[in-house]
Amino acid sequence: MKLLLCMIFLFAMIPGQTIYINEIVSSNSTVLYDEEGNTPDWIEFYNGTTAQINLEGYGVSDDPEEPFKWVFPGVTIDSESYLLVFASGEDESSNVQHWETVINWGDDWNYFIGYTNPPSSWRELSFDDSGWLNGPSGFGYGDGDDATEVPQVMSVFVRKTFQVESVDNIAALVFHVDYDDAFVAYLNGDEIARANIGTPGVVPNYDEGAYEWREAEIYNGGFPERYEIDPESGLLTNGENVLAIQVHNYNITSSDMSLIPFFTLGMVQAPDNPSGTPDILNFSLTNLHTNFKIKSEGEPVLLTHPSGELMDVVDSTAIPTDISYGRQPDGSDTWLFFPEPTPQAPNDTEGFSEFCETPQVSHQGGFYSGPVIISLSINSDTHQIYYTLDGSIPSEDSFIYSEPIFIATTMVLRAAAIHSECFPGEVTTHSFLIGEESTLPVVSLTSDPFNLWDEDYGIYVMGPNAQWDFPYFGANFWEDWERPIHVELFEPNGELGFRLDAGVKIFGGWSRGFPQKSLAIYARPGYGTNEINYQVFPDKEIDSFVAIVLRNSGNEWFGSGQDNATMFRDGMHTSLMDNTGVEHQEYRPAAVYINGEYWGIHNLREKVNEEFLASNNPGVDPDELDELEANAEIIEGDNQDYLNMIDFVENNDLSNPDNYLIVEEQVNIENFIDYNIIQIYVGNTDWPGNNIKFWRPHIEGAKWKWILYDTDFGFGLFPGWASNVYHNTLLFALDDNGPGWPNPPWSTLLFRSLMENEEFQIKFINHFCYYLSTRFEPSYVVNQISDIVDNIAPEMPNHVSRWGGNIGQWNQNIIDVQEFGALRADIVFNHVGNYFGLYESSNLNVSAVPSNGGTVSVSGLIIPENPWTGEYFNDIPIEITAISNPGYSFSHWAGSTETEEGITVVLDGDLNVTAVFLEDDNPGIAVYINEILASNDTTNVDEAGEFDDWLELYNAGIESVNIEGLFLTDNADNLTKWTIPEEMVIQPQSHLLFWCDEDQEQGEFHTNFKLSSGGEFLALVDFDGITLLDSITFGPQSTDISYGRVSDGSSDWDFLSPSPGNSNNLSIMEITLPHNEGWNLVGLPLDTTPFPCDGYIDGSLYSFETGSYLNISTDEMAIGSGYWLRFEEEDECTFSGVPIDNITVSLDEGWNLISGISTSIAINTIIDLNELIVPGTIYGFDGSYVEAEFLDPGYGYWLRSSGEGEISLSSSALLNKSTTFQLPDHLNTLTLNNIAL
């Protein structure tokens, strides 16, 4: 349908209007950058007069009821000029009034070729560089962006001076650099930035190589990296200053090197004869930020005079990403959409008043057993549909649609309506998988072949600059290029999971050289949406992703020439640590197609980034964390605290308990131990100097944690030279003098230093013993491998057919991996024992009775089963703790004379210990988190009239409880986040509601945190700030549906109809029911409104009352009644509502149409006290009548009654098959006005 665009004036404006809202962008992805490098919404104002206007006091708002929501500071707008304001929501205005680039691309520098190190003072202002060479930037060789070509060397050192008239006039410093492969920059001798090399603060040697290969960005159409420098640091001086940089190659054979630096000053006052900044640096045209954002779906934007009179208002309507909505000509009443926005300039580009329609398809993409005929349609009679079948975007050179399209083999159909009158609309993309089958999910990728295969532009090909040897550095697939792509995911049952337009990059490191490559998929507003809203991984309750990876299995890719690979090592390794607290990517293999061509198995993985960390740690803000890699290289946030800690570790003995405590306060020791244990167990030798990332959130008390990823080298991938089943990876990870790869000294420093401490040693030993007896136990590991193999084995022949290799070799590799898993645990156990001089071990047998009374932890790890046996080393103290379940208390230990819940044992032979629990007659504080509502739109309001999130506590005891001083928290790393205020008392068997709105000023019942509708951890903590009285980790929540205990204080949780302050209501549930084409007998399976089914013929719903049919609407349907309803085609629909467990149904004498409850019940359980039901007269309908033995939810049934009265239905027997029985034909016919329907 055409979208007609119009300007809607909501108010009367001042006559003779002078200031206009002239142009708006409400979804800015790439059009304009602010001073932080972000892309917020923006509003352009235009002064149409011949005089300058002072805007101080003018109001700008998106709310007609709050016209002065944001107020202009003292700024002016010149005559017939423009002023830009970012609608970022940040409410900021910087002191920077002018940006001046004092070192630009092409400026002359003095430089030194790195055949040796330059003098140590080369970075200082006082150094005399007059003997150095001189030339313009950029510097380098090999990729065509070098104004000064240098020899093929490992490093080049450059210096350039610049003048600062007054440091008091400098409010900001920004360093930009484009580089290949690494650099370190210094300002007046002090380091200000580095990337991809060495330890911060340590000057790299001239022959030191970059950590990894990196390509420059500018010559490929990209942008230089930006580094903010603190202007208050004192680095800048009045007069002369010097910027010094060293750029380094990956290795001496690298095909190219690049260095293009920029240095920019943010000034309070512009200098005389300013030069400004180059366009490529994307410095913003304004420093003004409103305190609101513009909704991309449309909302009014108002400009109000200080007197309160409205100057201008516009309904911004729905505006696509990177498209502006503005006046043409400036200040006129004509509003258009502009594909080429013009911020702070005349709106003189081509505009459109409407969008072209999106073509509709007769059949959705998916699996089809045979050929399919596709029809395309739009409403317009004048616009033309164009289509392609090769993945390319339709243009006027494509096929013209004139008749249905016959598709006989797997291919992708793309269609678009194109006409000069309208702005090009959305391209319809559907993948038709003809005769294809897979037990795996199928991901179909579609992109213009030019994006993938063009020699100069395509991301999947060698291109003109590739080196001749593997992994072909310099190839196009080594560039950080992103291209548009359409993604469709189909589940193994054929259902569509999601489809969206996105961006794609080649992903990974060394494995880019393989014929089949890894791909990273990015959801971005510029493509249509910034999230993949689908639960991609069934075992992980996360349904929103900004990026996912289709991994070729990395170095473990199986194809021609890869003899040892299996395609699953990394996924298997990381899944061994499920639910341990060690962050790792979820793993799901998939069959992939590109532009309709089969492309083999790829492993769907989460992408490790700040959004990954936030989604896997509810309550964490992705913009408020530090994420580092390698030797403290910054990915996100800051590294200074970590560097300070490492400096402390280097210079202090951690065998000293006080020193160890300082590190323990900063490092999550349990996480660090478990992370190292899994790496050592699998024998990963592409680590710890590579593939290492760690992070912490910006939350008080948060500690550094490590991320497990890219473990391909494990389980003997390269047994001849990397590691085999006997490899002593423990010694490897503790080596203090390893090579630059894979275990240099910096990479083992923290582990080595912590291992000097006795407390750390004991935890490490006991954690390792626990895992070797649980997750790494041979039968467990072999079964894990078998499950994965069973999943992908049916697809492997297709993969081998596409990429080569031998299926027999793959099967042999499976055997090798299983043998590794069968042998590795004992071998590693001996490695640990030998390292610590422990040569005897015993079995620790642990149990808990009764089994529902509680559980036991060993060295802080919960036993996985009851009873449980683990093999532990003798002479090492082992902490064992009894953990009571609600309603029970610890009594004593059987097998030990200790009486405390926590005991320490030292083995010198097998030991049996049993935690004995007793039912607790006096359970102490019996207060529970009883119900939560994490998305409250309409349920209930607080005293301020706001629909805020809430949680409910319930006192299950028989006495009042004063909970003053207990804690509520949504952060497991901050258990004392919010203290329950004074004099908070819960009466027995009663409830207390707390508003989770992060607004404590509203009252004592308001916490300092909100609930996450995406799911998170929530706990009630005892007075000691340590003991959890109750906790729950919940998944994604639905609006106005609460999550709580099925009955107050019970252990079972479910989705509920909210009952704040009252006993919990019945659960909300979903029931999906199929229906046939044509007439169906239906009923309501749940207490729900409105009726959710689509695809029925309007006017075809009939009830049967007092012997005749009555045509009704769906909102007249009642629980317990049956109906005739006619559907256009076979399909299914999903009901959501409160379950119906018991109903009473009124009957008339003769035939009645009834329906059942929310579960199947046997007809012999119907309560018929007056014996009204005529035996053998209950019938269902499934194309023919079926004598019913059960009443199934959501279906209607004929029932014959001998008289008037009531029957009752309640939950009962199990479902069995029914038998077919044909009723008289007239009961299968609806007759109205003597016409049979």
pLDDT value at 606 more than 90: yes
CATH code of residue 865? 2.60.40.10
Last residue of a domain, one of 1028, 1056, 1084: 1056
pLDDT at 253 over 50: yes
Tokens 């010198």 belong to residue: 908
Mark whether 999 and 1081 lie in a shared domain.
no
Range of the domain at 83: 19-93+288-338
Residue 515 has pLDDT above 50, yes or no: yes
Q: Are 596 and 412 in contact (CB under 8 A)?
A: yes
What digits encode the pLDDT tens for the residues 1051-1067?
778 778 788 888 776 55
Mean pLDDT calculated for residue range 497-516: 96
Q: What does the pLDDT read at residue 1162?
A: 86
pLDDT of residue 1226: 37
Q: pLDDT band at 882, cuts 50/70/90?
A: very high
pTM across the whole model = 0.69
Residue 254 lies in a domain: yes
- pLDDT at residue 286 in the model: 67
> How much is the pLDDT for 9?
35
Question: Over the stretch 133-173, which tens digit does the pLDDT of each residue have?
Answer: 999 999 999 877 799 999 999 999 999 999 999 999 998 89
Q: What is the dihedral of CA 781, 786, 787, 792, to 10 degrees?
A: 130
In the 8-state DSSP scheme, what is residue 516?
Answer: S
What confidence tier does 90 reach under pLDDT thresholds 50, 70, 90?
Answer: confident
Domain boundary among 919, 950, 971: 919
Kindly tell me if the per-residue pLDDT of 889 is higher than 90: no
Say yes or no: 329 and 406 in one domain: no
> β-pairing, 1185-1187 with 1173-1181?
antiparallel
The mean pLDDT value for 417-437 works out to 92
DSSP string, 466-510: --SSTT-TTSGGGS---EEEEEEEE-TTS-EEEEEEEEEEEE-SG
Tokens 């892309």 label which residue? 39
Q: Looking at the structure, do residues 1046 and 965 belong to the same domain, yes or no? A: yes
Q: Which helix (H) or strand (E) holds 930?
A: strand 927-933
896-914 pLDDT, tens digit each: 888 889 999 999 999 999 9
> What would the two tokens of residue 765 be?
């030993």
Single out the residue in 762, 790, 825 at which a domain terminates. Answer: 825
Confidence (pLDDT) at 860 = 92
C-alpha 641/C-alpha 788 separation (Å) is 41
- Collapsing DSSP states into helix, strand and coil, what is residue 1228? helix
Closest CA to 386 of 423, 352, 422, 359: 359
pLDDT at 721 over 80: no
Where is pLDDT greater, at 14 or 1100?
A: 1100
**CA distance linking residue 261 with residue 275, whole number of Å:** 17
The single-letter DSSP state of residue 182 is: E
Mean pLDDT on 1151-1170: 88
Q: CA–CA separation, 856 vs 865, rounded Å? A: 10
Residue for token pair 């579609």: 446
Q: How confident is the model at residue 1042 (pLDDT cuts 50, 70, 90)?
A: confident
Q: pLDDT class for 922, splitting at 50, 70, 90?
A: low
Q: How far apart are CA 362 and CA 222, in angstroms?
A: 41
pLDDT for 1235: 37
Mean pLDDT of the chain: 90
Helix (H, G, I), strand (E, B) or coil at 323: coil
Angle at 538 between CA 532 and CA 542, to 5 degrees: 45
226 and 156 assigned to the same domain: yes
The continuous run of DSSP H or E covering 696 comes out as strand 693-697
CATH number at residue 209: 2.60.120.260
Q: Residue 421, CB half-sphere, CA atoms under 13 Å: how many?
A: 11
Bigger pLDDT: 399 vs 616: 399
Q: What is the mean predicted confidence (pLDDT) over 1133-1158?
A: 88
Give dist(CA 507, CA 691) in Å, integer.
14
H or E segment at 450?
helix 449-453
Q: Quick check: is 143 in a domain?
A: yes
For residue 46, the domain's CATH number is: 2.60.40
Residue 807 lies in a domain: yes
- pLDDT for residue 121 is more than 70: yes
State residue 1233's pLDDT score.
35
CB atoms within 10 A of CB 329: 10
Mean pLDDT computed over 818-838 = 97
Cα-to-chain-centroid distance, residue 516: 25
**Whole-number pLDDT of residue 152:** 94
How many secondary structure helices (H) and strands (E) does the chain include? 12, 81
How many structural domains are present in the chain?
Answer: 7
Mean pLDDT of 489-515: 96
Name the 3-class secondary structure at 1063.
Answer: coil
Q: Are 1079 and 1126 in contact (CB under 8 A)?
A: yes
Mean pLDDT, residues 113-125 taken together: 96
- pLDDT band (50, 70, 90) for residue 1230: very low
Q: Comparing 478-482, 873-877, 1033-1037, 1112-1116, which segment has the lowest mean pLDDT?
A: 1033-1037
Domain assignment of residue 575, yes or no: no
Q: Quick one: which of 352, 422, 349 has its CA closest to 382? A: 422
Whether the per-residue pLDDT at 284 is higher than 80: the answer is: no
Position 237 scores a pLDDT of 94
The whole-number average pLDDT for the span 24-32 is 86
Task: Based on the fold, state whether residues 661 and 786 are members of the same structural domain.
Answer: yes
**Residue 626: per-residue pLDDT:** 96
Looking at residues 865-884, what average pLDDT do you find? 95
Same domain, 174 and 259: yes
pLDDT top residue among 1087 and 63: 63
Based on the domain organization, do 1073 and 939 belong to the same domain?
no
Strand, coil or helix: 96: coil
- By the 8 A CB rule, do 679 and 729 touch? yes
pLDDT score recorded for residue 434: 97
Q: Which residues pair with 719 in a beta bridge?
A: none
In a domain, 458, yes or no: no
Residue 834 lies in a domain: no
Whether residues 938 and 883 share a domain: the answer is no
Q: What is the mean pLDDT of residues 488-497?
A: 96
Distance between CA atoms of residues 194 and 200, nearest Å: 7
Q: What is the strand order of the sheet 693-697 is part of? A: 583-584, 705-708, 693-697, 625-629, 633-636
Sheet with strand 384-388: strands edge to edge:
366-368, 428-434, 411-418, 384-388, 399-400
In the structure, what pLDDT confidence band is assigned to residue 1222 with cuts at 50, 70 and 90?
A: very low
CB 91 within 8 A of CB 312: no
The answer, yes or no, to whether residue 1088 has pLDDT greater than 70, is yes
Mean pLDDT of 187-192: 96
pLDDT for the residue 1009: 92
3-state secondary structure of 1035: coil
Kindly state whether residues 743 and 803 are assigned to the same domain.
yes
Q: Are 1134 and 1215 contained in the same domain?
A: yes
- C-alpha 610, offset from chain centre: 9
- Confidence at residue 1036, expressed as pLDDT on a 0 to 100 scale: 82
Interatomic CA distance for residues 654 and 650, integer angstroms: 9
Helix 758-772 / helix 807-836 crossing angle, nearest 10 deg: 140
In this model, does residue 1216 exceed pLDDT 70?
Answer: no
Q: Which of 583-597, 743-757, 1163-1177 has the lowest mean pLDDT?
A: 1163-1177
Is residue 809 assigned to a domain? yes
Residues sharing a CB contact under 8 Å with residue 764, sequence separation 6 or more, in sequence order: 673, 676, 677, 755
- pLDDT at res. 17: 54
The answer to whether residue 582 is domain-embedded is no
Place of tokens 């399919």: 372
In this structure, the answer to whether residues 114 and 233 fall within a common structural domain is: yes
pLDDT in tens, 747-803: 999 999 999 999 999 999 999 999 999 999 999 999 999 999 999 999 999 999 999
The pLDDT of 1183-1207, averaged and rounded, is: 91
Q: How far apart are CA 156 and CA 258, in angstroms?
A: 10
Q: Are residues 47 and 161 in the same domain?
A: no
Task: List, in order, residues 6 or more apart from 268 with CB less than 8 Å away.
Answer: 95, 96, 97, 168, 169, 170, 171
DSSP 77: E
Per the listing, tokens 């208050």 go with: 232
